[in-house]
Amino acid sequence: MKTLFFIGLVVLILGIVSLVVPIPRSERSGISVGGMSVGVETRHEEKVHPALSAVMILGGFGAMAAGRRRNS
């Protein structure tokens, strides 16, 4: 298995997974006075934009095809 084919396979899998799995992100805001602090932590789950996932999937297919063509 050529390196380019393997890299294309990894990018393809990451592109497919990015369509389904959200990326968690946390934000913390608050104030601290002396030895006391008050804060709020909010958590967001954001998905990758579908256009970016499509680019990753197509790029993975392209790299796999180039790796297979170079192998032959």
Provide the pLDDT for residue 15.
93
Domain extent at residue 31: 3-71
Task: Tell me how many domains the chain contains.
Answer: 1
Q: Give per-residue pLDDT as tens, 10-62.
A: 999 999 999 999 989 999 888 888 888 888 889 989 888 999 999 999 999 99
Provide the pLDDT for residue 55.
94
| Angle separating helix axes 50-71 and 3-20, nearest 10 degrees | 160
Q: What letter represents residue 64's amino acid?
A: M
Provide the pLDDT for residue 31.
86
**In 38-69, which positions are buried (b, 16+ CB within 10 angstroms) versus exposed (e)?**
eeeeeeeeeebeeeebeebbeebeebbeebee
Closest CA to 22 of 41, 42, 50: 50
